[in-house]
Amino acid sequence: MWKIRVLDSFETYKLARRGLQKSVDTSDIGCTDVDVASKKARIENSGLIENSVNNPSGSKSATATPAASNVQPHNDGQLISSKILPINVLDYLKQLDRKLEIMNARVKQIGLSLEVVIAKLNRMDEHDGRTNDSAIELPLPLKSQNDVNEFDDQMSRNLALKNQFGNFVRRVGGNSLMGVTRRVILLVLSRDLVRQFSWAGRTKRAFKRLLISDIIIEKLSTRCSADRNQVEAAIADVLKSTKPTKAATELSATMELD
């Protein structure tokens, strides 16, 4: 014996025939999962349409309310379920996703090409700098005030020499602004000559008035990402803290004894 459940009853055969089509539409006997989902969508649509016909004033029945949250009006006025997307829409989304992947790969490829071009340009710039530097020999380190005056004067009249000195300062290595500044000063001036300068020049010669100073500040500001005041403070500290050589110290002591 099979268990059955009476879904509805009708007073006449004619009324029962009217409900036949609804039974066929709502039954899931012998249907696949896709057919069941399609039938559910049609049931929700038919329920909303029927409710709108029976209630022209806009009132909604309790059974039609939950179904309305899952449907959206179509362009031609029909109602479709928002949970079910046509196959052609899914295919379009897949194609769009594939195109985006291709675009991302292309952008990465362009980025790598730009990095290669930039690296080549940097190597060309370094090669040009080395070629220009070999044309003029810098008289460093400067060992006397006369050397400083002559070198400063030559750079003011010779743009190539000025650019060469700037490239020399730019390539000096170091891990900090203070470290790079100290190395630059001691490569440009001898240790004993450094002791003859101060930044402002209150008791010694003013280093800030030299063209050498302007070029050093300009290049180190760019290289170390520092502002002018920071570089000036670093130079002042190097000039103040640099100790004379042992020979200069002994000579000074001998002069004092005499």
pLDDT digits (tens, 9 = 90+) for 217-236: 999 999 899 999 999 999 99
More confident residue, 115 or 163: 163
Distance CA 176, CA 181 (A): 8
The C-alpha angle with vertex 9 and arms to 6 and 11, in degrees rounded to 5, equals 160
Q: Domain end: 55, 81, 107, which one?
A: 81
If one compares 43 and 153, the residue with the highest pLDDT of the two is: 153
Instruction: Identify whether residues 131 and 207 lie together within a single domain.
Output: no
In this structure, are 109 and 44 located in the same domain?
Answer: no
Does residue 1 fall inside a structural domain? Answer: no
Helix (H, G, I), strand (E, B) or coil at 220: helix
Percentage of the chain lying above the pLDDT 70 cut: 61
The listed range with the strongest mean pLDDT (31-35, 42-46, 59-63, 218-222) is 218-222
Give the residue numbers spanning the domain of 27: 13-81
Q: Does 159 lie in the same domain as 92?
A: no
Res. 74: pLDDT tops 90: no
Q: Which of 113-122, 201-210, 221-230, 237-246 has the lowest mean pLDDT?
A: 113-122
Q: Does 113 map to a domain?
A: yes
pLDDT digits over 124-173, tens only? 766 555 555 455 789 999 999 999 999 999 999 999 999 999 999 999 98
Kindly tell me the sign of the dihedral angle through the C-alpha atoms of 51, 55, 56, 60. Answer: negative
79 has a pLDDT exceeding 80: no
Query: Is 148 in the same domain as 245?
Result: yes
- Check whether residue 43 and residue 120 sit in a common domain: no
Alpha-carbon span 221 to 64, nearest angstrom: 74
Measure Cα distances from 218 to 123, 150, 207 in Å.
22, 21, 15
Residue 28 pLDDT greater than 70, yes or no: no
Specify the 3-state DSSP secondary structure of 80: strand
Residue 133's Cβ-count burial label (10 Å; 0-12, 13-18, 19+) is: middle
- Name the residue among 96, 62, 97, 68 with its Cα closest to residue 80: 68
Residues 6+ apart with CB under 8 A from 183: 172, 173, 174
- Domain tally, the chain: 3
Rounded Cα gap, residues 127 and 170, in angstroms: 14
**40 and 74 share a domain?**
yes
- Look at residues 35, 178, 76 and name the one whose alpha carbon lies nearest to residue 27: 35
CATH number, domain with residue 157: 1.10.10
> Does 62 or 9 have the greater pLDDT score?
9
Q: How sure is the predictor about 40, in pLDDT bands with cuts at 50, 70 and 90?
A: low
Q: Is the pLDDT of residue 50 over 90?
A: no
CA neighbours within 13 Å on the CB side: how many for 20?
7
